Homo-oligomer: A and B are copies of this chain.
Amino acid sequence: MSFAKLDELCRIHSAIDHAQAILGADEATHMASGGGEERASAMGRLAAMSHEMLTAPEVADWIAAARQENLDPDQQAAVREFARVHANMTALTAQFVERQTNARMRSEQLWRKLRPNGDWKGFEPALSELLELAREEASMRGAALGLDPYDALIEQHDPGSRAGEIEKIFAELKQFLVDFVPEAEEAGRRRKAPNGLREFPVEAQRELGIHLMKAVGFDFEHGSLSVSVHPFCGGVPTDVRITTRYRNGDFLSALMGVLHETGHALYEQNLPRKWHHWPSGRARGMAMHESQSLFSEKQIGRNPAFWRFALPFVREKLGVDWTIEEIVAAVLEVKRGLIRVDADEVTYPLHVILRFELERELISGSLSVRDIPQAWDEKMKANFELSTIDDPKDGPMQDVHWPAGVFGYFPSYTLGALLAAQQWQAVVKALPDVETDIAAGRFDRINDWRRDNIWSQASVRSADEITRKATGSALNAQPFIEHLKERYGA
């Protein structure tokens, strides 16, 4: 039976995936610095091996044959999603994948080394090499999938998303934000900020984070919290590795990061166990994934109701005596800044739109790596009246994505924010008193909704179908705009 052959193939493939996921998390958390070169080469070999297996000539035959077999709806969805992944895989040769994986690993390791000194010149050649590989990839994928090159890259991260659609949504959002950012900043200044921001020991911050992770549903039997330069959620669904970075003087930076990664982790931990080894059992693209992290971080974690529950623990662990008004003022601060990952939810989309615009030009060839700092600076000035031209560390060297050879990913962040707002509206409709739950530290009803509507759906349906079924409408900017107005408006 061909379905059984595909099932066995998925099991072998998911063993390599498991190794890659743990090696990836390990690289950013526990690897010795001198271990990078052999790690890059080992991961390159594994990627090539995995690619070779999935693209072997007989696999296409198995897919065709499995489609004729008598399968239940879950199995049909599994074959359908497998076929989609297979089409994306066969677009590239094994040699190209290995070359690209090696270049990505080397470049990311170089970035980790050069970023602290903002050595853009030293990093430029590696990034140029990666961009050339990405353009080659985009062109090969585009030809195979019948998509524009940049769309073909977006497809790898957020299947079904297209730059044309994104452009329209982003235009609506950008137009709104131009006027709204100054208004929200002004409204924020009227809130009473907390005093007594001071040194908070990392260990106390870590304990607070773990306490809140547990409260919102993170399963420590199947995951852990660690430290890395750039926070991430990695590992495998039965062992989800999330990380944060601690800053002594600003506990909210690490804590909100922890809540964000916990949202990713909840998605992974609640994927259907039975289908872990099939593509249909994985998360439905990165916009959906980001909607889960932003739902946890923004819709729940920055909701004033959440702080009625969380403030006592902050007081206990960090020894502060803030009022609810003060902590909420800190949580809802709006301030134009240089760093995307530190941005508030009002200004964040402008960081993403900047990157979307630049990488579209990079892939089309109308912008070169050498000209990134200048182009970046112009957009930062236009959006925020801020300049990074003298400080690439806080400009185009701040993100891991391009150094890791990842293009077409950035839009997912803001699409995820829109989806999260849309999901929140649906939750409020289904559970009108949801904020009472949150204020009491009860997250089971919310998690049930999320499990039923998002997590358990994995990749059985398309992101569009999941969103329409869960929220009653297609992805759009309105719920997010309403959310910002309500939470941050004057």
Contacts and interface: CB of A to CB of B under 8 A. Distances in A.
A37 interface: yes
A35 interface: yes
A16 B222 contact: no
A33 B221 contact: yes
Contacts of A220: 32
A133 to B, nearest CB: 20
A32 B221 contact: yes
A42 interface: yes
Contact of A35 (B35, B42, B236): B236
A14 B34 contact: no
Given A19-B19, A22-B26, A222 B45 contact: no
B30 A18 contact: no
Contact of A37 (B39, B238, B240): B238
Contacts of A15: 41-46, 49
Contacts of A29: 30
Given A19-B46, A42-B15, A46-B19, A30 B238 contact: no
Contact of A219 (B14, B34, B236): B34
A239 interface: yes
20 contacts: A11-B41, A11-B45, A15-B41, A15-B43, A15-B45, A15-B49, A18-B39, A19-B23, A19-B42, A22-B26, A23-B23, A29-B30, A30-B224, A32-B239, A32-B240, A34-B221, A34-B238, A38-B238, A38-B276, A49-B49
A339 interface: no
A224 B224 CA distance: 20
A12 interface: yes
A431 interface: no
Given A15-B43, A32-B238, A34-B221, 15 more contacts: A15-B41, A15-B45, A18-B42, A19-B42, A26-B30, A30-B226, A31-B239, A32-B222, A32-B223, A34-B238, A35-B236, A38-B237, A38-B276, A39-B238, A49-B49
Interface residues of A, number: 42
Interface string A349-366: 000000000000000000
Interface string A216-244: 00011111101000000001111111000
Nearest to A45: B15
- Residue among A45, A49, A235, A241 with max Cβ neighbours from chain B (10 Å): A45
Nearest to A35: B239
Contacts of A237: 38
A34 B265 CA distance: 14
Contact of A30 (B11, B14, B30, B44): B30
A447 B226 CA distance: 35
A219 B34 CA distance: 9
Contact of A38 (B16, B31, B236): B236
A449 B229 CA distance: 40
A310 B270 CA distance: 51
Nearest to A14: B42
User: For A22, A30, A35, A223, which residue has the most chain B Cβ atoms within 10 angstroms?
Assistant: A35
Contacts of A224: 30, 32
Contacts of A226: 30
Contact of A12 (B26, B45, B219, B236): B45
Contacts of A219: 34
Nearest to A46: B15
A37 B221 CA distance: 12
A3 to B, nearest CB: 19
Residue with the highest number of chain B CB atoms closer than 10 Å, among A219, A221, A238, A241: A238
A40 to B, nearest CB: 10
A18 B33 contact: no
Contacts of A42: 14-15, 18-19
Interface in A32-67: 32-35, 37-39, 41-46, 49
Q: Please name the 9 residue pairs, one residue from A and one from B, whose CB atoms are nearest each other, closest first.
A: A35-B239, A15-B45, A34-B221, A18-B42, A19-B19, A15-B42, A34-B222, A32-B239, A38-B238
A235 B39 CA distance: 11
